Amino acid sequence: MRRIVGAVLDWEGTGEAAFSVTFLGAGRMRALNRRTFGRDRVTDVIAFELPHAGRQGGDLYLCPSAARTAAVTQGVPLAHELVRVLVHGALHALGYHHPEGAGRTRSRMWRRQERYVRALLARGR
């Protein structure tokens, strides 16, 4: 995880940064999503941007069972989807956003995310 987030930070030209990663079960992720965004559903990642003393950083909350479901739906290995989820969360914590709905996968953030995921998977991370 450190190498994946570290690669994103390098590519983004971010200096020193501090991130935490917490894994949640589906019930806790759903509760966090409801409490934070008013969305009563499970999601694969929630990220909070937490810049501190001039450093970038954030808290990432990942739900492995949601990532597993997405991997099956997309026909990709779970390890690949977990890379995608980590990259996605790191970009959100760095201040990137995307629209909900159909425009999501055409957004600047999503294109950047997929470029980073391809590069990481090509490296074998």
The total number of structural domains in the chain stands at 1
* Amino acid at site 121: L
Distance CA 61, CA 1 (A): 13
Whole-model pTM: value is: 0.89
Q: Tens digit of pLDDT per residue, the chain (125 long)?
A: 888 998 999 999 887 788 899 999 999 999 999 999 999 999 999 999 886 666 778 899 999 999 999 999 999 999 999 999 999 999 999 989 887 877 777 789 999 999 999 999 998 75
**Domain assignment of residue 99, given as a range:** 2-123
Surface-to-core class of residue 6, CB atoms within 10 Å of its CB (0-12 exposed, 13-18 middle, 19+ buried)? middle
Is 43 in contact with 66 (CB distance < 8 Å)?
Answer: yes
Cα 33–chain centre separation: 14
Is 80 in contact with 4 (CB distance < 8 Å)?
Answer: no
Residue 114 maps to which CATH number?
3.40.390.30
